[in-house]
Amino acid sequence: MDNTQPIIRYRCDLCGNITRFDVTETMTIKSFYHYGIDGQLNKEDAETLNRIIESVSCRWCNSPSNVKEVKADEVGTGDDTSPKTAVS
């Protein structure tokens, strides 16, 4: 995949997850196929032509509606590695 696009991260506003998501995406990739004499395929020079994110859901709480895109520099570096629980 080319690295010219900004890095997008995800955050679940329901449980606070910033590390685990199920992402369904469709990609169109142009590659150079190089077959060796032995018939083995090597794919080289892969270039992503199109990428569509179909859906994103939180792996911890399974919420698709509370997942938001955030820029990589907006993700906190605090203790966000465990799910948050609501205090009632």
pTM for the model: 0.63
pLDDT at 81 over 90: no
pLDDT (tens digit per residue) in 47-56: 999 999 999 9
What is the residue extent of each domain of the chain? 8-73
pLDDT (tens digit per residue) in 8-57: 899 999 999 999 999 999 999 999 999 999 999 999 999 999 999 999 99
Separation between Cα atoms, residue 43 and residue 57, nearest integer Å? 31
Phi, psi of 43, deg, nearest 5: -95, 125
Phi, psi of 73, deg, nearest 5: -80, -5
Pairing of strands 41-58, 8-12: unpaired
